[in-house]
Every structure is written in structure tokens, then in C-alpha cells.
Structure 1
Amino acid sequence: MSERHRFWQRALRFLSLEIPREASSAFIGGEHSLQQEMWLRSLRKEQQKQIDMTMPLDEVMFIIIDMETTGFSPQHGDEILAMAAAKTVNGIVKETYFTLVCPEKAIPPHISSLTGIQAEDVQHAPRLWEAMRSFLSFIHGGVMIGYHIGHDLSFLNHFLWTYYRTKWTARFLDMQPIAEMVRHRPFPSLDAALQYYGISCEKRHTADGDVQAMAELWDRLLEELKSRNIETLNDLYSALSMR
């Protein structure tokens, strides 16, 4: 088979996945495209792996995530500006990840005011399709967790569906219902939970700052869960289902 023929086979395969134009040039070129295919297959296999629900909570890798975005709806053009994550075991941070992301459109002034992210901060940052590969590689293999994690998942799944016609299928948990379950009181925001537990967050509304604060919060919540004899993932999911 000629190299020209191989090129067009790869091009047609990625076009059938409806990969956006800005990413397709990187995906269909030579060895890089083959690496992308291998990575995608590996990601899908990792997502399909079943985590042992009888595993003690203090042995499970919980991966805390947070994203800063220009709004709440990726379907209406809102974009990711920053992504952060921390791998934790028994409440201890083992490894961290952070990247800024260069958006396609200008950052709204009120978002720059809230997050501190200015246009000059992201001008040399990777585009989303570049940054997301390293982010996805970092967060696989554990239980993803965050505060109001549905927001982050909506952007993650929008990316996965747009680029790969797939969605995130690995396990995830939201800290909010866990905090409300153990304390029997509402925590409508991360700020409310942090204030209750006396946890300071000097870099609030930054992805890495929020992840650091959530790591402290998760350490506290783990201790409270274990004190209530919620010791395994199965115990935790069962307790949440009874709320």
C-alpha cells in the first residue's frame, strides 16, 4: 500500500469521526495520527475497567478536578480556560496537573475579573484539543471527584463527543452531596463547605487553587465517612443512594 493511500485512509477515518478542522491536520499526519489512535483505544480500555467496589476508601485513588470556563454551556460556545487535577490516596496528594488553555474567542471581561486569567496569560497556552490529551491521560485510572462536578463533566463530555464521538464512562463523584450527607446540612457552594470546615483558599476561582482547597476538603470528608463506618466505595454509593 502506497504512503499516499495510507494518508487518505487515515484522513477519511478521522473525517468519519467528525473531528474539528483545527485538530484534523495534527491527527492525520504520519506517526502522530497513529499515536492518537493508540491513545484513544487505550483511553477507552481504561474507562471500561471496573474499579473494585469493595476496596477501602483509603486505598482508592480519587482524582480531584476543576476547570475554569468562560460560562456554563459548552453547547453555546463557552470554553475552557484552565484545567487542574490532583491524584490523592487516603486524602494525601500524590501528583498534580495544571494547564491554561488558549480559547478560540476573546475572554469576557467579567471572567477575567473572576479568574484573573487575562488574554496575555493564554496567548502561548495550548489549544483545547492539545491540552485535553494530557489532562485525560492524567485523570484516567481512578475515581474522578469535584465540587459541582457536573459542570466540569459537561465540558469534558462536549470535548469527547465533538472530537471522538464518545463520552466519559469512568466513575465519578460529587463532593457536595457527600458533604451534605455527613453533616446533615446544605452546602450550596464550595465556598460554603470551605467556610464550614475552616479551609482557606487563597487562589479561589483558579483551577489549581480550587483543586488544592478541594483536596483539603476531601481529606476531612474521608475522615468523617470512615467515622460513620462508610469504609468502601460500595458503602459510599449505598449511603448516597439513601439520601
Structure 2
Amino acid sequence: MNEQHRFWQRALRMLSMGVPREQLSSVGENDHRAFQQEVWVRTLLKELQKKRIDMNTRLENATFIVVDTETTGFSPQHGDEIFAMAAAKTINGTLKDFYFTLIRPDKEIPDHISQLTGVKAEDVQAAPRLKEEMNNFLSFIGDGIVIGYHIGHDLSFINHFLWTEYRTKWIARFLDMQQILEMIHRNAVFSTLDAALSYYHIPCEKRHTADGDVQAMVELWKRILEELKSQEIETLYDLYAALSIA
């Protein structure tokens, strides 16, 4: 394909997206790529938000996506950033697919975070920016139900980025493992992932890493599904109803 043909393909695509005709000549390849990526993310989010989950779906047939991120701090509003993302696609507690990437943040990873996670500045130098990787992450999640431990922390960073960059948010369904565990074991408190893993004697060789924590949470989710079944919580409706009165 020659350069002129590629230019006209790009021009036609951009015209179809509403870019004014007079601006086409000033849009370079890098600008065009960024523009296409933004359109892709927006389109993907809209499609995910349109999807509706059948609440009569049995838990063993539903797709659950275990998600974890590592961040430079606790507040995206104050400049903290994601520097690692992992997700596992599961059905009936069985791992079907796995996603992991390091992310190059704008600011350096603090020393105490590097000591905790083992990820240092040099480890992320060649990693993609979050803006370059977000479409891959969202595509992996698909229309599954996101779950995690203290998942609100992870979603706050993801949504802060999506709002800052695209003025949109990810609003699909999600569940917090801590809430489910404390519903199952009504007199117990599982304030940390460590407490939950310890209760079920689940090892985590790479604790405080996104991929290591997700691998451990896949096993934890399998145990949780067994517990739910033993309590005759068998469908998504059953689960949401049980959580609503816990």
C-alpha cells in the first residue's frame, strides 16, 4: 500500500468520525494514532455499558474477571498512578486467560513502593504508558463481571484515568471479594487479602505484585464459589440478593 493510499484511508476514517475537513492536512501520524485510540476506547466503553447480564445466570456459567493493580500511592487525585495491571478471566473458578503488563508512570515509583512490590524504575522504562495499554485492558475484561479484593481502589484509578483522558467512566458490574467473604462468614472479618488467603491456606509467592495477587485471588475465588454453592447461592440473582441483606 503506497503512502498516498494510506493517507486517504486515514482521511476517510477521520471524516467519518467528525473531524473537520480543513483539519485533515494538519493531523500527523502520531496525532492520528492518538485520536484513533481515543475513539476506540470511547466506543469500547459504550459497547460494554450497553451489555446487560442475565441475573438468572448460574455462577458456574458466568465469566468473572479477577483484577488487581499496583499503584504509586492511594490517591489518583493527588497524582498517584498505576504501574502494573493484571487480570484473569475465569469460569467456574477455572483460569481461562491471563493478562499482565507493567505501566510506565509519569513520575518515579517511590522507594517504599518498590521495596513492597519489587518493581523499580528501570523495570518500567520500556513499558507502555497507561494510555497506550488501556484499550487492551478493557478488551480483555470484555463483558465479564470484575471482581477483586478492595476492588474499589483499583476502579478508582481506572476511572480517574478514563475521566481525565476521555471524560467517561467504566461502569460495568463489579464485586468485592471481601464483601462476599464477610457475607458468607457472618461473624468473621477479612479486612485484608492476607487474612482471606490465610483462612483458606492459599499461598501467594509474589504477594504485592499485580500478577501474583491475581493468581492467588483466582484460587480464592474458586474456594468462594464452593462456599456459595454450599449455601445454595447458585445464580447471580442469589448472590446480589444475599449481599443486599448481609
Measured against the shorter chain, the TM-score band is: 0.7 to 0.9
Query: Is 1:132–2:134 an aligned residue pair?
Result: yes
SS at 1:29 equivalent: helix
Aligned length: 230
- Contact conserved, 2:93 with 2:218, CA < 8 A, in 1? yes
Instruction: Give the letter aligned to residue 99 of structure 1.
Output: T
Query: Is 1:111–2:125 an aligned residue pair?
Result: no
SS at 1:84 equivalent: strand
Q: Which residue of 2 aligns with 1:200?
A: 203
Q: Which residue of 2 aligns with 1:15?
A: none
TM-score in terms of structure 1 length: 0.88
Q: Alpha carbons of 1:104 and 1:55: their partners in 2 closer, same or farther (altered >3 Å)?
A: same
Q: How does 1:158-173 map to 2 (within 5 A)?
A: 158-173=160-175
Q: Alpha carbons of 1:240 and 1:104: their partners in 2 closer, same or farther (altered >3 Å)?
A: same
SS at 2:164 equivalent: helix
User: Which runs of 4 or more aligned residues in structure 1 lie more than 6 Å from their structure 2 counterparts after TM superposition?
Assistant: 24-27
RMSD of aligned Cα (Å): 2.5
Q: How does 1:56-67 map to 2 (within 5 A)?
A: 56-67=58-69
Correspondent of 1:232 among 232, 235, 239: 235
Among the aligned pairs, what percent are the same residue? 62
Alpha-carbon distance in 1 for matches of 2:202, 2:46: 36
After superposition, give the CA deviation of every residue in 1:140-190 in whole Å (9 maximum; x if it has no partner). 210000000000010010011011111111100000011111122100000
- Contact conserved, 1:101 with 1:128, CA < 8 A, in 2? yes
- Contact conserved, 1:10 with 1:28, CA < 8 A, in 2? no
- Contact conserved, 2:68 with 2:213, CA < 8 A, in 1? yes
Query: Is 1:189–2:174 an aligned residue pair?
Result: no
- Contact conserved, 1:91 with 1:218, CA < 8 A, in 2? yes
Q: Alpha carbons of 1:168 and 1:190: their partners in 2 closer, same or farther (altered >3 Å)?
A: same
- Contact conserved, 2:87 with 2:98, CA < 8 A, in 1? yes
Query: Is 1:210–2:204 an aligned residue pair?
Result: no
Query: Is 1:93–2:95 an aligned residue pair?
Result: yes
Alpha-carbon distance in 2 for matches of 1:201, 1:11: 53
Unpaired stretches in structure 2, ≥5 consecutive residues: 1-7, 22-26
